[in-house]
Amino acid sequence: MAKSLRPTKTPTIRSVVAVALVCASFTGAQAGPATIDYIENPYQPHSTNGGMARVGSVVGQVYGEHQDMMALGVATALGYRLQRLSLEAEYSYVRYQDKSNDTLPLGHGNRVGVNVRYEVLRIGSRMMGPNSMLGLFVELGVGRGWNSWLAPVADNRTRMVQANTSRTDQTVGFGMMLDHRLQEPIGFPRRIAWFLGWRAAFSSHAPEPVAVCRGTSCKPVPTQPTAKLVDSALSLQSSLAFTF
């Protein structure tokens, strides 16, 4: 008796594509960055190479203008960490206010700068806890700032108002980073830190045109000679820092 022959079924395009997708996803999971960067031991030494971004607040005191004043604002920075060494570009915006009257705005300032930071001491996870680290740093920087001063309004008391200024400054500072790495990395970020830094800024003293204003009435006054050579400012920065 002759046997009936049935044609052999060939795989459909849909089934081939499904198998390919399953294999590709499995391969990607094996080679993905989450697997490569996984921290097996939460107490192992920290590797801090990578890009870095910071954003946070600035509180400071400014000396050397025609009146001492407070500065309140925000700062952001972007750079790169190479183990203990960091290089970053920074931008900050602050508003100036009278120290004796915190409701009296005096002006605002923008500044761009470059900072070099080095962690002189690290306290690792054995003391700080799993995947955590404390770094104590010193830093040097240089920047350029532009200050704009507000004209007084009718109900302002008598005060001095100077022309808008721009200055180059040099900075020196120190602080700490309480740094925590993600044991199972998600790509961005790989590390999250609380950054706290104190910074002093110095610039050459340059006499600027100034007027004495009572209400909205202002009268220019001659610039008085001074033996002062350097103006200074002292600020505190508190930021969240991300390594990626």
For residue 107, how far is the Cα from the chain centroid? 23
Sign (positive or negative) of CA dihedral 192, 177, 46, 128: negative
Q: Are 132 and 165 in contact (CB under 8 A)?
A: no
Residue partners of 199: CB distance under 8 A and separation at least 6: 139, 141, 171, 172, 173, 234, 235, 236, 237
Residues 163-222 have pLDDT tens digits of 788 889 999 999 999 999 998 867 788 999 999 999 999 998 877 778 788 777 788 877
Tokens of 176: 């700490």
The domains located in the chain, with CATH, are: 49-243 (2.40.160.20)
In the predicted model, residues of the chain with pLDDT beneath 70 are: 1-37, 64-66, 102, 185, 223-227
Output the pLDDT for position 102.
66
User: How big is the chain by its Cα radius of gyration, in Å?
Assistant: 29
Output the pLDDT for position 70.
92
Give me the amino acid identity at 142: V
Distances (CA, A) of 126 to 56, 122, 232: 29, 11, 40
Answering whether pTM is above 0.85, one says no
Sheet strand arrangement including 210-214 = 159-162, 210-214, 217-221
